[in-house]
Amino acid sequence: MAILVLVDEGRIDLDRPVLGDLADRHGWSLADPRMRAITVRQLLAHTSGLAASLPSFFDSPMATPDQAVGQVLALPLVDEPGRSFTYANVNFVLLGRLLQDVTGLDFATASRRLVLDPLGLSSFATVGTADRPAGDAHHWTRAGRNYMELLAAAGAWIASASDVARLVASIESGGVLSPTTRAAMLDPSSTGPLEGGWTYGLGVRLFPDGSYGHSGTLESSRSMALHLPDGTTVAVLVNGEVPKVTDDLIATIDWAATTLGR
């Protein structure tokens, strides 16, 4: 949403190749010359062709986000930019760096000024993997993990469930986005991994029944935020191992909406 606000302001062009400039500014080597053609839209839509980045950010932790990004950019593209969908956290880490470069602020501060403060959402914060803010529900992590530090703009946020719901609801109500960028956000830019299943817009999952939102999974946390076709927005944040598959929360939300009413 912060990137799209900058698009509205004319400070970012969705269809301008951007990865080459980012790599040059930050000292990343590009293994595949086609990477220089990757656009902002493709990073938002996970159609950049960059390799899925789970090992870099979760299974073999680096010391810094730059090292994790460098490891991914040292791999060849898995497909031509714009051709297919591959969910990769590195796309949003790169967008966080773009946000920083364009605004002159770190990605969290820029996000607050562009999105969170205008919407009155005060619970959002960026934290480290082992941080335990006052009042936070307990969640466990294996010793030595640093994935939230490495994920940065792709996963270092925490917030209350109600503020997450308000953030997603603001897409429908107008919020900080113009009608043009809102339409771009909700326009299917690629198919998801299942034929006939969900598709993907710009930063949001789009479901066949008209719902949209996003999921998130970290070691002992699962989250799902959905805007439903009747205008209701629901966010569920769970600490623990149930459900094992985060997308099972979709059925829980549907059951609650049908059985308990809204």
Choose between 142 and 183: higher pLDDT: 183
Convert the pLDDT of each residue in 71-106 to its tens digit.
Answer: 999 999 999 999 999 999 999 999 999 999 999 999
237-245 contacts at long range (C-beta below 8 A, 24 or more positions apart): 237/161, 237/164, 239/137, 239/138, 239/139, 240/139
Distance (Å) of CA 19 to CA 84, 131, 243: 18, 32, 37
| Residue range 14-19: mean pLDDT, rounded | 96
Residues for the chain: how many in total?
262
Check whether the bond before 243 is cis (ω within 30° of 0). Answer: yes
pLDDT at 92: 97
Q: Given a cut of 80, is residue 194 above it in pLDDT?
A: no
Q: Quote the pLDDT of residue 63.
A: 84
Between 60 and 48, the more confident residue is 48
Calculate helix-pair angle for 89-103, 19-26, nearest 10 degrees.
70
Could you tell me the CA-to-CA distances from 146 to 60, 69, 91, 149 in Å, in that order? 10, 15, 19, 6
pLDDT single digits (tens) 101-156: 999 999 999 999 999 999 999 999 999 888 887 877 777 888 888 999 999 999 99
Supply the pTM of this predicted model: 0.94
Residue 95 · residue 153 · CB < 8 Å: yes
For position 195, what pLDDT does the model report? Answer: 58
pLDDT above 90 covers a percentage of the chain that reads 74
